[in-house]
Amino acid sequence: MEQTIDNSGTFTKTVNIGGENMGDVQAGIEFIYHMREHILDVGVATVYLFVCYGIYLLMKKYIK
């Protein structure tokens, strides 16, 4: 589906929705496939989360 939006004659934007008509399952598979490229980013973010949570627990312990 393609729709052209004209805003005051000076700006035209074309929006393509579902360009390949992929289903939800195919989109999920592609999302997981592309996440493999970012495994290092996800790992660093996970380690950062655990470190911050550990610091929070230590601060909570020492404040009481």
pLDDT digit string (tens) for 7-55? 665 666 666 665 566 688 888 888 888 888 888 999 999 999 999 999 9
The answer to whether residue 64 scores a pLDDT higher than 70 is: yes
More confident residue, 43 or 64: 43
What pLDDT, on a 0 to 100 scale, did the predictor assign at position 57? 97
- Six token digits for residue 17: 């929705």
- On whether the CB atoms of residues 19 and 30 are closer than 8 A, the answer is no
**What is the pLDDT, as a whole number, of residue 27?**
81
What is the pTM for the complete model shown? 0.50
